[in-house]
Amino acid sequence: QVQLVDSGGGLVQPGGSLRLACAVSGRSQSNYGIGWFRRAAGKEREFVAARTWSGPNRYYADSVKGRFTISRDNAKNTVYLQMNNLKAEDTAVYYCVNGGYWGQGTQVTVSS
C-alpha cells in the first residue's frame, strides 16, 4: 500500500506562484505514473499533470502547459507541482495520485 500526503496549497494573487508537494511513502506503485488532478467547486475532477515514475515523460493539461511543471526528488521521495502565473480558474483542491491511491488534497485559491 502507498500513502500520499499533499501539501503546499494556499492563497495567492493572480500571477503568483505556488509549489505543491506530494510525499510518497509505503509501497509506491512504480508500475504507474504519478500525477496531479484537481477539482474546483461545482465541477468535475480534471487531470492537471503527470509523469512516468522513473522515466522522462511528462504530460500536462492544455490549460496549464507552459505554467506548471511536475518534477520528482528521488532522495525525498516527493513529487512537486510548480505552478507559475496562477489564474483565478486554477482555484481548486489539488490531489496527488499514484496507482489508484490518492492524497488527501490541498486547497489552492487564486484571488486578489
Q: Which pLDDT score, from 0 to 100, does residue 32 have?
A: 79
Average pLDDT over residues 33-60: 94
47 exposed, middle or buried (CB, 10 Å; 0-12, 13-18, 19+)? middle
Query: Three cell numbers at 72?
Result: 520528482
Contacts of 16 (CB under 8 A, 6+ apart): 86, 110
pLDDT of residue 95: 98
The proportion of the chain whose per-residue pLDDT surpasses 90, expressed as a percent, equals 80
Mean pLDDT, range 83-111, rounded to an integer: 96
Residue 70 has pLDDT above 70, yes or no: yes
In this predicted model, which residue has the larger pLDDT, 30 or 53? Answer: 53
